[in-house]
Amino acid sequence: MAAREQGHSRTPRRPYNSEGRRAQARATRERILETARALFIAQGYAGTSIAQVAAEAGVSAPTVFAGFTSKVNLLKEATETTLVGDAEPVPLHDRPQMRHVHEGRTAEEVLVRLADLIAERAPHVHPIYAVVSAAADADPEIAALARTLDDQRLAGATRLAGLVVEKGGDPGRRDEVRDTIWTLNSPLLYGLLVTQRGWSVERYGAWVRRALTALALDPS
């Protein structure tokens, strides 16, 4: 009886803190992605191993595999989170920066805001996008990833072309406007002009604005 009463006098266990565990898991995932992104950019896809990512991120290799299943998926998520700016599961078209583009009052204002967003994100996106492009020729899975990224950009360009037409653009040029946005939004274009030709980021941004508004609005 005394033993039973003694057992009842023990301090109750603290409740399980699920939110704290989720926050810790998110922080670990973000650290792995940041580490992988930096290593992929510095060493290329082939030169980076899961074991190295794990060591640099301060976790085990099984932890990386459990979270991302493969090196291809790790590159995919490192690229996609760079495109949107963070690891939150919110599509680009639902984010504040893209809503700002969609809230432009005229077709020209939509395109100017889009050009500014392209110029703002390109320096961040191009390095990891270039890793995907360079690895695509040698790896069919990376080639599929590159196609997926291009398809996602095309879907976004399609939505934006419809918006441009809705706000005063020429309905007969919807497809041309879509393809113009898709082309000028390619991070590889930033690489050609800034990395290879030595343009400043400011010059690149001004050029994207002029090119996008001229080509999407004025067929001449």
Span 71-98, pLDDT tens digits: 999 999 999 999 877 666 666 777 888 8
pLDDT at 48: 96
79: in domain: no
Using CA atoms, how far apart are residues 72 and 144, in angstroms rounded to an integer?
A: 10
How many folded domains does the chain comprise?
A: 2
**Judgement on whether residues 132 and 210 belong to the same structural domain of the protein:** yes
**Judgement on whether residues 129 and 211 belong to the same structural domain of the protein:** yes
How much is the mean pLDDT over the chain?
89
Using CA atoms, how far apart are residues 127 and 132, in angstroms rounded to an integer?
A: 9
**Judgement on whether residues 125 and 211 belong to the same structural domain of the protein:** yes
Q: What's the pTM?
A: 0.82
Q: Which two tokens stand for residue 19?
A: 């939110």
**Judgement on whether residues 98 and 177 belong to the same structural domain of the protein:** yes
**Judgement on whether residues 50 and 137 belong to the same structural domain of the protein:** no
Report the CATH number at residue 30: 1.10.10.60
pLDDT at 190: 97
Domain membership of residue 57 as a residue range: 19-70
100: in domain: yes
149: in domain: yes
pLDDT at 88: 67
Tens-place pLDDT, residues 16-52: 557 778 888 889 999 999 999 999 999 999 999 999 9
pLDDT at 33: 95
**Judgement on whether residues 182 and 99 belong to the same structural domain of the protein:** yes
**Judgement on whether residues 115 and 192 belong to the same structural domain of the protein:** yes
Q: At CA 109, angle to CA 184 and CA 169, rounded to 5? A: 75
13: in domain: no
64: in domain: yes
Percent of the chain's residues with pLDDT above 70: 88
Torsion of CA 73, 118, 197, 75, to 10 degrees: -10
Instruction: Among 6, 36, 70, identify where a domain stops.
Output: 70
pLDDT at 4: 44
Q: Is the pLDDT of residue 139 over 70?
A: yes
84: in domain: no
**Is 164 within 8 Å of 79 (Cβ atoms)?**
no
Query: Among 90, 58, 63, which Cα is nearest to 74's?
Result: 63
**Judgement on whether residues 51 and 101 belong to the same structural domain of the protein:** no
82: in domain: no
**Judgement on whether residues 62 and 125 belong to the same structural domain of the protein:** no
Q: Mean pLDDT across the stretch 183-202?
A: 96
Write out the DSSP string of the chain: -HHHHHHHTSPPPPPP-HHHHHHHHHHHHHHHHHHHHHHHHHH-STT--HHHHHHHHTS-HHHHHHHHSSHHHHHHHHHHHHHHSSSSS--GGGSHHHHHHHT-SSHHHHHHHHHHHHHHHHHHHHHHHHHHHHHHTT-HHHHHHHHHHHHHHHHHHHHHHHHHHHTT--GGGHHHHHHHHHHHT-HHHHIIIIIIT---HHHHHHHHHHHHHHHHH---
